[in-house]
Chain A
């Protein structure tokens, strides 16, 4: 009986096996830069256009602002508490099939976006669960002992409480400041710190873009560039926005090795506020140049729906991942308002 069953199973496996292998060798197609369709009997390796996802979701990061746990001091000062945990042992898929040892604040590169209003008291409980020393160094105004340079926090559970008043208004980076600094930054220990003015900015569809690079083979040259870590992500996952709606992008350049980066927007120009410290824009342009940790705020609105690229106009960077698409849809609500205004 057992013999019979095993025979049946054996034969069915043999009978089914060719079907499996047939399914595998079915020709697949992919589209090239120039739109040509290529057929292959093998596998497709296309991080550019093929829709793919990895561990980290840049779409979720894009509009995710952390305001912390809010409480109030007796004098009315708002206190915002954050817990940030550093780790340095995570292997992350940074582009389809490419695995890289990222060092992270709260498990992601970039770390969480910390957002507060000018004058708020920030309390950041920093826990270092890594194996090396790490710190958090904020750009901005704070006492020397809160600068995260001369107070390295030991690994395997070392702690430090960063406490300072949020300021000045603008968009700033924070990053680990342990030597060798370049190593700690390129592995991913950085994030964005936004300080809002007391009088709120105009409502807008707000997003964060950290321009970064990945040197996956440690030759002090970036193998990948990106907006928000994952190369080409916003190309195969376009960012959906609406016509006639104010878009505000907080841009921070964290690229190492290459002295500059830049940001070019298609079919539009943006108002640019360097470092976001001034409430009056300095430029109206479609191209800004950013040096290391240089950052600012961009504001723009699209009048026409459709697909618009945004990318580094240093084309090497865009062809290695720092490129994306805004997919602009007709904004029915705004249009009605305009119609009302028109009549």
Chain B
């Protein structure tokens, strides 16, 4: 009997492994003796200039081989005029390898530049920079500057939004559902906004081989699933701990919004770093107005419990302060790839929060998600976000 059991176990394992063995055999054949069969067509080399930094008397381009074959960087130009340059560590790039091309050049601030890189077959690739701005150096003053911007667009608006709590506390159940749905609407808008931003960055700065849109989709879904799973665990934990369910939901909302604000901070820091945005007071006011609505999102679920000022403030910080960290990272060590990933993770987190809120409403309102309060709240949320987004 036992023997039988082990042998059937082995059969299961074997039947699971056999297909893999064939896949490996096929790959070995295709890359080995069968390579000639697939050897048609011309493999076109491709490089991507991922990043251009303007430093003291020098322009530095980070170049990645994003094509199917190894390449050699042989020449650099600025505005289509050939320049002497250095490549570090060397000019030979395997697939996905990067190198730094240093072009000594007396550039002028705020002027547009096109950086060109020519490879060994004579193909020239270029990247346009709208306005040259000195690469940000990590100084104390600048770190403070980013912290202030982060506070303005992140923490302060969220805290202001939280001040609606007493108001939401006093309203009827119907109106309360309206505000919960409004929150879901706001968040949905933020998620779509994050995805759009991520796709935009991947289109502009990531090579095609990263499959930008699919990368964003994968990161969004994985982040959603991860948070959905751990969120449920947390809620179960909440049942046995001192934290009430509304607090748990509010906490999850603030984490989701925090991730979103981190992405927003990245975008702001990177924009300042790349010189494409001059920060006007108007812009900051726009972001602040926009983000005030995020405070409502946190306040809404909390309004049904006891007033817990300390917890509320902590959640405001969780939601708002990532904007500061985002601005630091975006400004000092910007990389388009990490921006895309963070924005997508933020979007996934928000989708998860939306699901949690909708479930919460469903429980509160006797399984009715199609009441006028809920529908109009959701719609109002989207509209408010859209209207405030015009200000940015």
Chain A residues close to B by CB (< 8 Å): 28, 30-34, 36, 38, 40-50, 94-100, 214, 216-217, 223, 231-232, 316, 319-321
Contact = CB atoms under 8 A, between A and B. Distances in A.
Interface in B73-94: 73-77, 80-91
B123 interface: yes
Contact of B84 (A30, A41, A94, A316): A30
A269 B86 CA distance: 38
Contacts, number: 105
Nearest to A224: B82
B121 A216 contact: yes
Nearest to A96: B74
Contact of B75 (A95, A100, A316): A95
Contacts of A30: 84, 86
Contacts of B118: 98, 216, 223
A232 B77 CA distance: 14
B123 A216 contact: yes
Contact of B122 (A40, A41, A217, A319): A217
B26 to A, nearest CB: 35
Contacts of A98: 74-75, 118, 120-122
Contacts of A45: 73-76, 84-87, 91, 101
Contacts of B100: 42
A321 B122 contact: no
Contact of A216 (B85, B86, B88, B122): B122
A43 B104 contact: no
B126 to A, nearest CB: 11
Given A38-B104, A216-B123, A48 B90 contact: no
A223 B77 CA distance: 10
A41 to B, nearest CB: 6
Interface of B: 57-58, 72-77, 80-91, 99-102, 104, 106, 118, 120-124
A43 B86 contact: yes
A100 B118 CA distance: 12
B122 A46 contact: no
Contact of A223 (B86, B104, B122): B122
Contact of B83 (A33, A94, A100, A217): A33
Nearest to B81: A319
Contact of A42 (B57, B77, B88, B124): B88
B90 to A, nearest CB: 5
Contacts of B73: 45
Given A36-B104, A42-B87, A48-B82, A217 B123 contact: yes
B84 A33 contact: yes
B57 to A, nearest CB: 7
B124 A99 contact: no
Contacts of A40: 86-88, 102
Nearest to B116: A223
Contact of B89 (A42, A95, A217): A42
A200 B121 CA distance: 45
Given A98-B122, A216-B122, A316-B81, A34 B87 contact: no
B124 A32 contact: no
Contact of B86 (A38, A100, A214, A231): A38
What 3 A-B pairs are tightest by C-beta distance, nearest first?
A216-B122, A42-B88, A97-B74
Nearest to A39: B86
B104 A32 contact: yes
A100 B90 CA distance: 22
B79 to A, nearest CB: 9
Contact of B87 (A31, A33, A43, A223): A43
B240 to A, nearest CB: 59
B80 A320 contact: yes
Contacts of A100: 121-122
A100 B124 CA distance: 13
B82 A32 contact: no
B90 A36 contact: no
Contacts of A28: 86
Identify the interface centre among B86, B88, B101, B121: most chain A CB within 10 Å of its CB. Answer: B86
Nearest to B102: A40
A320 B82 contact: yes
A24 to B, nearest CB: 8
A99 B82 contact: no
B18 to A, nearest CB: 41
Nearest to A50: B84
Contacts of B123: 216-217
Identify the interface centre among A30, A50, A96, A223: most chain B CB within 10 Å of its CB. Answer: A223
B254 to A, nearest CB: 46
Contacts of B80: 316, 320
Contacts of A43: 86-88, 90-91
B119 to A, nearest CB: 8
19 contacts: A31-B84, A33-B104, A40-B86, A40-B87, A40-B88, A42-B87, A43-B91, A44-B87, A47-B75, A50-B84, A96-B74, A97-B72, A97-B75, A98-B120, A98-B121, A217-B124, A319-B82, A320-B77, A320-B80
A28 B89 CA distance: 12
A34 B106 contact: yes
A94 B120 CA distance: 10
B125 to A, nearest CB: 9
